Structure 1
């Protein structure tokens, strides 16, 4: 039987947006709340607002490039087509830090909260449970994964609404004001601390870009994907800012018994033990849904790179004939997820962001490269992407030293691999061509 060489369209706008939101996991703002609060000295909403503004410029660039090149591969494909195939490979290699290891971080956060509630159960049990379940769902196919995401997102949104309302009620009961600028700015905060928090908060936005990996599985991708990108960023960003604001009102400052599970303690404070249990269930569901989406996105990126031949083709470009899924890439992401057992949430999150910000920067530069060659609207093809690139570089430099060091080491390994692949940069990396 002839091997499949392309993915089959199954998804519409709603499914793609839900995929992006599930990838972002709106409840993640609470999953990492304590860590961001410590970084910003208690101005979490400002960090998410800054990250949202930055991401909207980059989201616009992703939308333009997705409409121009409607094939799987996301930033890897866009940079390869618009700038240079070698640079595209290195961006794809860097973004593997995001796509390849992000599911690991998601499973780690979910396991941390479950371990806080059930300390007698080893963390590795939860991590392995997440990995096995999401891997099976993704191997069964994108339609199965999308269906599961719809149900899980509905429950997640319900928990978010309850948390928001209970937080505001608690503020009123405590005699506080529902309208305050303190969560955004106070004497102990500064642009430096907010920027550092935004560099971590931007992790929550990873998902608007991930929808581009489903472009070959989406109906009318040139129209659907750009709309889905902006809708995902806007909806997710609005939820992040509002939820962070309500949480900062009910728990001012940045002092917690355990910053990695701070929101769980806040949930018990505003809603008692019962809501604490419901919140924990919602957070686990959010992590589970996000893990499904992240693993699917990572496997599609590796599929695109394998199909081009820059990763071993027999492994990464293989699609199961009946299920139509890149099963080896999916399985590999699950195996890598076991690294979560050796990392903490803060380090792993900033580590992931190195690849994300690198990709974001170069997608913006890709739009500028198209403008230089072809001209077009100055605002959307030059000004907006330039602003996006500057902000992304700014956020990248605000990552901690460990993340930057590990990221540069990973990029260095990619340079060596590219040198071997291209005979010391004398030839272009292999590429698969497509009919329009």
Structure 2
């Protein structure tokens, strides 16, 4: 007798399973952005008294509990919907509805900010064109891309992520070159221990962690593709954990290098 899972997979309304492990990780990293620390580096460096790399190390460990929870939940409830599905199944219809709308607002606001930043950045490169025109163009292109299909969106997403990784690699190579030729502008361990003049402060590091965790927003979106991934919920769970670990390594590495290139924090 066919199982419930088999019958649901064969149903006409079932989503098409076309995303592999790489596609899931790419989606997660696109939501996070590999160079997310760039926007908050100054604030984190000042808040943590220079221990910015330690801040991201602690933030990665803290977010690992969330990632592990998602990995477990996607195995128990292998349906699309992510936190909406988990809250509905675990707490009931009411909490599920609230969680779903909160997640919806999250997925509306994050792209809105990204569109606005894109418009501002493109206007800086081509000032003859209004930032609102660039913003509208970004909305139209991404909308058409998503209407094209999840597989096409995954291919384009992989290309965009590859360009972001290239930019990050250029920064890493340039930073290492400068450090080899001119040395660090602060102690080699200071990104992990804090500035010698200010001393290590647990409260300062935890204050920085509360900001740094915002850099990880979006990796949980991988769980939304539970019904579009090949390999089932187990592959989605592994993608969630791998994406967080990879993001953590990228964040710690770039914040460590950037700290060494900056003068001692004056926070």
SS of the equivalent of 2:235 reads: helix
Aligned partners of 1:87, 1:152: CA distance in 2, in Å? 36
Query: Which deviates more from structure 2 when the two are superposed, residues 200-209 or residues 154-163?
Result: 200-209
- Structure 2 counterpart of 1:229: 240
8 A Cα contact 1:172 1:178, kept in partner: no
**What does residue range 125-204 of structure 1 map to in structure 2 within 5 Å?**
125-176=133-184, 180-184=188-192, 185-186=194-195, 187=198, 190-204=201-215
Aligned partners of 1:131, 1:40: CA distance in 2, in Å? 37
5+ residue gaps in structure 1?
256-436
Equivalent of 1:215 in 226, 231, 237: 226
SS of the equivalent of 1:216 reads: coil
Q: TM-score, normalised by structure 2?
A: 0.84
- Structure 2 counterpart of 1:98: 106
Specify which structure has the bigger relative contact order, considering alpha-carbon pairs within 8 angstroms and separated by 6 or more residues. 2
8 A Cα contact 2:186 2:264, kept in partner: no
Given the alignment of the two structures, is residue 21 of structure 1 paired with residue 29 of structure 2, yes or no? yes
Given the alignment of the two structures, is residue 11 of structure 1 paired with residue 22 of structure 2, yes or no? no
Inter-CA distance 7–113: structure 2 relative to 1 (3 Å threshold): same
- Structure 2 counterpart of 1:47: 55
SS of the equivalent of 1:47 reads: helix
SS of the equivalent of 1:209 reads: helix
Q: TM-score, normalised by structure 1?
A: 0.53
Aligned partners of 1:146, 1:76: CA distance in 2, in Å? 23
8 A Cα contact 1:34 1:254, kept in partner: no
- Structure 2 counterpart of 1:297: none
1:204 to partner: Cα distance? 2.1
Equivalent of 2:69 in 56, 61, 65: 61
Q: What is the CA deviation profile of residues 227-248 of structure 1, one whole-angstrom value per residue up to 9, with x for unaligned ones? A: 0010000011100110111111
Aligned partners of 1:35, 1:119: CA distance in 2, in Å? 29
* Count of residues in correspondence between the two structures: 252
Aligned partners of 1:36, 1:118: CA distance in 2, in Å? 31
Q: What is the CA deviation profile of residues 356-404 of structure 1, one whole-angstrom value per residue up to 9, with x for unaligned ones? A: xxxxxxxxxxxxxxxxxxxxxxxxxxxxxxxxxxxxxxxxxxxxxxxxx
- RMSD of aligned residue pairs (Cα, Å): 2.5
Aligned partners of 2:20, 2:187: CA distance in 1, in Å? 39
- Structure 1 counterpart of 2:80: 72
- Structure 2 counterpart of 1:83: 91
Q: What is the CA deviation profile of residues 318-370 of structure 1, one whole-angstrom value per residue up to 9, with x for unaligned ones? A: xxxxxxxxxxxxxxxxxxxxxxxxxxxxxxxxxxxxxxxxxxxxxxxxxxxxx
5+ residue gaps in structure 2?
1-11
Aligned partners of 2:139, 2:58: CA distance in 1, in Å? 33
Inter-CA distance 112–193: structure 2 relative to 1 (3 Å threshold): farther
8 A Cα contact 1:208 1:230, kept in partner: no
**What does residue range 21-420 of structure 1 map to in structure 2 within 5 Å?**
21-117=29-125, 121-176=129-184, 180-184=188-192, 185-186=194-195, 187=198, 190-253=201-264
